[in-house]
Chain A
Amino acid sequence: MSINEAQVSTVDQEMKKQPRRRQLSDRSIVNLFIWPALLLLIAMNVFPLFYSLYLGFTDYSAIARQQPVWVGFQNFSRILNDEQLWKYFATTGRFALLSVGLQTLVGFGLAMLVNEKFKGSGLLTTLILIPMMISPVVVGLFWKLMYNPTFGFFNYLIGFTNPSTAPDWLASRFAGTPVPGMALWAVVIVDVWMWSPFVMLLVLSGLKAIPDYLYEAAAIDRASAWFQFWRITLPQVTPLLLIAVLFRTIEAFKAFDLIMGMTGGGPGDQTELISVNLYRQAFLGQWRTGRASALAYIILIIIIAISNLYIRYLNQMKGES
């Protein structure tokens, strides 16, 4: 069964424009389908969202039994003028770029590899998913064990057997000499290991959805493999890929339990992501709830801005295809 694309779109348009008898019931279906989800979201989110927004404008510590004191934009202006925090934002950006970028590459590559069926491909694909099923805190703990130059496996597997001349990943040192950035890479490696399967699975669903006849037609036209990938595979997969990338980016900005378990933000502040610092300000003896709430909103705004870019691109892609 194959229908011409032109026909499809006209049917589609007719369906939307035509005033039909079903219209009323359609609307009630929409209400019935959407509102339960929305109501639940509103009920659980509105108070926390607005209350923490309010706290962002106050001088308040959750453990001091005093009412929040309204201070206007003071928290925000102090945060924006704090060079230390900008450094953390930069680190977070680097982390997000590296880990989401690599996840996309690795995940996409994996999906392309397992897309064609071979004996045992289903089993192998499912096994590849295991890393993302482990709790991030446990992942952090075990990778700390893995990275240990004395009794961890990582260095041995890449060929360093003498701890004193080996890289100490989480300390950003190679044979005792500081190598800035190594700890961040170590964290990125773990994040990529853990979440590439997520990207893979979504891309795979997209790949499976590409109708064979597109490739058939390309083959008949003797189109190159490169052309096939570039003009058929990529555009067809992009919508789901972008959703994967969107969620990974959001999570990268919120990454916290993994890093807390592995490096605690150290050495120095090489892996101090903004969300780790946020936790430090909101808890861990500091309890600067007001300031932390303001910082959270700044993070939120940044995430919203980035998400908007993705979504705009996503819609653009959809409009084109």
Chain B
Amino acid sequence: MKIKYLLVLTLVFVLILSACAQPTQAPVEEPAAEEPAAEEPAAEAPAVSELNILWAQWDPADYLQQVANMYEEETGIKVNVIQEPWGSFGDRFFTEMAAGGDAWDMVVGDSQWLGQGATQGHYIELTDFMASKGIDKSVTPATLTYYGEYPTGSGHYWGFPTEGDADGWAYRKDLFEDPDEMAAFEAEYGYPLDVPKDYNQLMDIANFFTRPDDGIYGVAIYTQKDYDAITMGVENTMFSWGGDWHDENNNVMGIVNSPENIEAVQFYRDLYECCQVPGLSNAFFTETNDAMIGGQATMIMNYFAFLPALASSDISEYADVTGFFPNPAGPKGAPQHAALGGQGMSVISYISDERKQAALDFIEWFAQEDIQTKWAELGGYSCNSSVLQTDEFLAAQPFNPAFAETMTFVKDFWNIPEYGELMEITQRHLSSFIVEGVGTAEETMNAIAEEHDQVLRDAGYIE
């Protein structure tokens, strides 16, 4: 009898709770979220006095808050930059979006999120707004494409390029410029020791400086499996070898497992085997930076946004002897390439029209050249093309020249909504081949190509 009681009670609860849950699902039914906030406009005050921007927890977000404080002084509208730790940034954002939440008005989201943000209606389209205010012309074309446009090449924009970023290198100038080292290097390899011009030179230098008995190693490169790090690292070589993830028609067979890609991946593995600082088997930006700060690495790969720590003498005792260079060229004459990082600012579609307008007003203000100059001065990586070319910018930080150069040859991973599945595949196989040391480069790339092909076919990108 008690069991029945329990069952009935359970049923009642299910009913109550599913009834409660119904409104959550209601907005889900709307195909495009044009006016999802229409249900509760009464809750909104007519004048918007506060705006919330979600970003990851790091220094640039502090800089953005400082810029935002200037906006408050000018207009009286308070702008809060809400910082969520990197590890949960994506999860928190998308969980809120799943519920159609309006906790934030804007998000400075990853370039890879564009597909999900655009096709699933989380972002509002900014094409007309950006064109009418001339914002699309004020930023460099590459950043507009990667931080704003979806689908790539369509001319539809969803984000304002806010924080440009890409992979580059830091190196120990004191070792590179040591006369004894220079002489020994030239004697061994037949050309002078300098910043590597192509990846073969990089390999030579890494080998040359790998001296376990002295506690010094050639490189620290990305190997982390968690999310996207090892893929981003390998991408640098792949693109520079002339390889790619796909062609214009989204075909991957023969592209992902092209001879160029196979060679590039093999190169990355060789570099890891010969010259990686020990223990960096699950390494991303903090680990490679630490290898430099700890004095174990001669050259490290990292996103420019994380390099300020290395140039700061308060953090790294090698700061004064740390130099920076952009990704070298591939060995086969293919143009230089660098894996893209960075974020664009998008407006959430689930907020009221007044808030949307207020958010757009903020972006319009933020995109002005003098504000962008201010943004760059604080340490933000402006995407504004004239700011990037000023002497002030180039002289502001030792890595800024390398950064400005890199931003002309960036390239990105997939940004379609299925990028997560594609990423999981590359992470798994690349970690297995490079870190675990299993299989051959050809097997690895064949496996990735096959699995990518399957995902893209299931999703209808290839028929």
Contact = CB atoms under 8 A, between A and B. Distances in A.
A286 B95 CA distance: 12
B362 interface: no
A63 B25 contact: no
Contact of B227 (A38, A63, A284): A284
Contact of B281 (A165, A267, A280): A267
A65 B121 contact: yes
B300 interface: no
A263 B420 contact: no
Contact of B28 (A46, A65, A263): A65
A170 B122 CA distance: 39
Nearest to B421: A286
Contacts of A263: 225, 282
B278 interface: yes
B421 to A, nearest CB: 5
Interface string A78-107: 000000000000000000000000000000
Interface stretch (B51-59, B199-207, B434-442): B434-442
Interface in A129-165: 144, 147-152, 162-165
A87 to B, nearest CB: 11
Interface string A173-187: 100101010000000
A168 interface: yes
Contacts of B63: none
A37 interface: no
A150 B28 contact: no
A286 B416 CA distance: 11
B163 to A, nearest CB: 19
Interface in B91-106: 91, 94-95, 97-98, 100
Contact of B432 (A38, A176, A268): A268
What's the interface size class on B, roughly?
Answer: 35 or more
A65 B112 CA distance: 18
A290 interface: no
Interface in A277-321: 280-281, 283-288
Interface in B1-60: 6, 9-10, 13-14, 17-18, 21, 25, 27-30, 33
Contacts of A51: 18, 21
Given A62-B94, A164-B278, A268-B436, A260 B29 contact: no
Contacts of B212: 162-165
Contacts of B100: 65
Interface residues of A, number: 53
B94 A63 contact: yes
B317 interface: no
A268 B431 contact: yes
Contacts of B91: 283-284
Contacts of A67: 25, 28-29
B418 to A, nearest CB: 9
B282 A264 contact: yes
A285 B419 contact: yes
Contact of A47 (B13, B277, B438): B13
A166 interface: yes
B18 A285 contact: no
Nearest to B93: A63
Contact of A284 (B13, B27, B296, B420): B420
A168 B272 CA distance: 14
B21 A47 contact: yes
A176 B120 CA distance: 46
Given A166-B278, A264-B226, A269 B432 contact: yes
Given A266-B224, A288-B421, 15 more contacts: A51-B18, A62-B95, A65-B27, A65-B120, A65-B121, A149-B278, A163-B278, A165-B212, A170-B279, A173-B437, A264-B282, A267-B435, A268-B435, A272-B428, A280-B424
Interface of B: 6, 9-10, 13-14, 17-18, 21, 25, 27-30, 33, 90-91, 94-95, 97-98, 100, 112, 116, 120-122, 212-213, 215, 224-228, 273, 277-279, 281-282, 294, 296, 417, 419-421, 423-424, 428, 431-433, 435-438
26 contacts: A39-B9, A42-B13, A43-B13, A47-B14, A47-B18, A63-B98, A64-B417, A65-B27, A67-B25, A144-B282, A168-B279, A171-B279, A178-B436, A266-B281, A267-B282, A267-B432, A268-B428, A268-B432, A269-B428, A269-B432, A280-B424, A284-B227, A284-B424, A285-B90, A285-B112, A287-B420
Interface of A: 38-39, 42-43, 46-47, 50-51, 62-67, 144, 147-152, 162-166, 168, 170-173, 176, 178, 180, 260, 262-270, 272, 280-281, 283-288
**What 7 pairs across the A-B complex have the smallest Cβ distances?**
A285-B420, A171-B281, A268-B432, A164-B212, A268-B436, A266-B225, A286-B420
